[in-house]
Amino acid sequence: MLRRKDEQKVVVNENMRGGNGKIAMRHFLSEKEVYGAGRIFAVSDIPPGASIGYHAHENEFEFYYVLSGEVTIRDDEETYVMTAGDMMQCKNGHSHSIENRSAEHAEVLMTVLYDQTGKKSFMELARARFSVRKYADRPLEEEKLMSILEAARIAPSAKNAQSYKIYVARSKEAIEKIDLITKMRYGAPTVLMFAADTGGSYQYEDRNSGDQDCSIAATHVMLEACEQGVGTLWADNFSPSAAKELFGLPDSMQPVLLMPIGYAAEDAEPAPRHAEMKALEDIVEVL
Ligand SMILES: Cc1cc2nc3c(=O)[nH]c(=O)nc-3n(C[C@H](O)[C@H](O)[C@H](O)COP(=O)(O)O)c2cc1C
């Protein structure tokens, strides 16, 4: 499909998102033409003094690329000057504004794409998850945390007894205690402690169902968190007895794992080990 410049629809927006002046947007593609992948594919002409006001992107993200001129960007609390060839992404959940403080017109290519994270298949989601070992200094909203924890509540468990408890460490005091028992927090603002309730669990030879109940509940949490754009780490490297003592847990509660949870830092990357998976025939044996 070829669409010449003069065939593209130009829309002039005044005081866009509470900003100043008139901004002409040349839409080179429509939402329908990208099969619902996004809603804005345009080149904006931003005259000197004009701006797009500060606004949030929820469930979507924006890439913009300066074709010519100079613009000043505020992205959440950071301010940047961008010139021709610079690209910026305003991530899902972030806010930004764009202003031309220079004496020349600026041309900016803008694309707003829908965050498709929630539309991943199970296998895509499972592949997208990785252990986050660097968290952003951004609190995890209470409501979001609770909706993620709902995934634990609906996990299967031995005889459906749900023989575990999830302790949520969020207060300064609780986080200080977590830091005394592990080095695995990696800056996460919240840490979940999954503990098996040996009082209500079942013993099968040398296995206790509480450990397994914790494991599957924690796995549900990891995957739901990933779906909601939230990072997690499963951490065994801590002292369960020290955790029990510091938090004054009842005798029957046995801590199984810690799970730092929160927004990943911008530069958080999977560890090299993440990609080192065994072949299927190495982990499966047909009897
Ligand atoms: C039972 C279990 C215990 C783990 N303990 C730790 C830990 O103490 N510290 C840590 O950094 N990662 C820990 N991990 C994370 C693993 O290292 C990680 O899942 C694995 O290397 C695969 O990488 P990925 O999660 O990025 O795919 C643990 C994972 C599991 C399932």
Nearest-CA residue for ligand 1 atom 6 is 235
End residue of a domain, out of 114, 130, 153: 114
- Is 144 a domain residue? yes
Other CB atoms within a 10 A radius of the CB of residue 193 amount to 26
- Ligand 1 centroid to Cα of residue 220, in Å, is 15
Per-residue pLDDT of 152-169, as tens digits, reads: 999 999 999 999 999 999
- Ligand 1 centroid to Cα of residue 3, in Å, is 50
> Whose CA is closest to 144, among 222, 216, 225?
225
163: domain CATH number is: 3.40.109.10
The three-class DSSP label of residue 120 is coil
72: domain CATH number is: 2.60.120.10
- Is 280 a domain residue? no
Per-residue pLDDT of 203-257, as tens digits, reads: 888 888 999 999 999 999 999 999 888 999 999 999 999 999 999 999 999 999 9
The three-class DSSP label of residue 260 is strand
Kind and range of the H or E run holding 96? strand 95-99
Sign for the CA dihedral angle at 135, 215, 220, 152 comes to: negative
Rg of the chain, C-alpha, whole Å: 24
Per-residue pLDDT of 116-144, as tens digits, reads: 776 778 998 899 899 999 999 999 999 99
Nearest-CA residue for ligand 1 atom 22 is 274
pTM: 0.66
Residue 182 alpha carbon, nearest atom of ligand 1:
8
- Is 286 a domain residue? no
Kindly state whether residues 124 and 54 are assigned to the same domain. Answer: no
User: What tokens does 16 get?
Assistant: 């866009």
Kindly state whether residues 127 and 104 are assigned to the same domain. Answer: no
What mean pLDDT value characterizes the chain? Answer: 94
- Is 189 a domain residue? yes
End residue of a domain, out of 114, 139, 157: 114
Kindly state whether residues 26 and 159 are assigned to the same domain. Answer: no
Choosing from 236, 269, 277 the residue with most ligand 1 atoms within 8 A of its CB, the one to mutate for a pocket test is: 236
User: What tokens does 233 get?
Assistant: 């780490």
- Ligand 1 centroid to Cα of residue 233, in Å, is 7
Kindly state whether residues 242 and 123 are assigned to the same domain. Answer: yes
Residues 140 and 189: beta-carbon distance below 8 Å: yes
- To the nearest whole percent, how much of the chain has pLDDT over 70? 100
Quote the pLDDT of residue 69: 97
Kindly state whether residues 141 and 217 are assigned to the same domain. Answer: yes
- Is 282 a domain residue? no
Kindly state whether residues 232 and 145 are assigned to the same domain. Answer: yes
> Whose CA is closest to 232, among 115, 148, 114, 172?
148
Residues 71 and 64: beta-carbon distance below 8 Å: no
Kindly state whether residues 79 and 213 are assigned to the same domain. Answer: no
Sign for the CA dihedral angle at 73, 78, 83, 89 comes to: negative
Quote the pLDDT of residue 118: 62
Kindly state whether residues 165 and 208 are assigned to the same domain. Answer: yes
- Is 78 a domain residue? yes
Instruction: Give residue 47's domain range.
Output: 5-114
Nearest-CA residue for ligand 1 atom 9 is 235
Q: In total, how many domains does the chain have?
A: 2
Kindly state whether residues 247 and 196 are assigned to the same domain. Answer: yes
Kindly state whether residues 229 and 161 are assigned to the same domain. Answer: yes
User: What tokens does 122 get?
Assistant: 């199970």
Kindly state whether residues 108 and 122 are assigned to the same domain. Answer: no
Kindly state whether residues 125 and 82 are assigned to the same domain. Answer: no
Residues with CB under 6 A from ligand 1: 130-131, 133, 184, 233-237, 270-271, 273-274
Separation in Å, CA 145 to CA 224, 275, 285 = 10, 28, 38
Q: What are the backbone angles phi and psi of residue 193, rounded to the nearest 5°? A: -115, 115
Per-residue pLDDT of 97-114, as tens digits, reads: 999 999 999 999 999 998
